[in-house]
Chain A
Amino acid sequence: MTDATAEIGDTARAAPEDTLIGCPICDAVYRLSPETAAEATRCARCGYRLTLGRSTAITRVVAIAATNVALMMIVIFLPFLDLQAGTFESRASVLEVVVGFSSGIMVPLAFAVIAFILVLPILRFLFLIYALGPILAGAGNLPNAKGALRWAFKLKPWAMAEIFMIGVAVALIKLADLASVATGPAFWVFGLVVLLNAYQDSFMCRHTLWTALQDNKR
Chain B
Amino acid sequence: MKHNTNVDIAFTHIITRKKQTLVAALGVTLGVGVYLFMNSLSSGFSSFSRDEIFKNSAHIKIYKDEELSKPISSDSSRISVILNPQITTLSKKIINPEALLANVKKQPYVTSAIAQVSFDAFYNRGKAQIKGSGNGVNMTEYDAMFNTGKYMVAGSINALPGNLNGIIIGSGIAEKLSLGLNDNITITSAFGVVKVMKIVGIFTTGNSMNDQQKSYVNISTAQQFVKEGPSFVSTIFVNTPSADKSEKYVSLLQQLTPYTVEDWKTTNADVMSGDKTRSTLMNSISYAILIVAAFGIYNILSSTITQKINDIAILKATGFAGKDVIRIFLLEAIIMGLIGTLMGLVIGSILIGIMSKIYMGGPVGYFPISFETRLFARSFILGLFITFCAGYFPARKAAKVDPVEIFRK
Q: Do A and B bind each other?
A: no
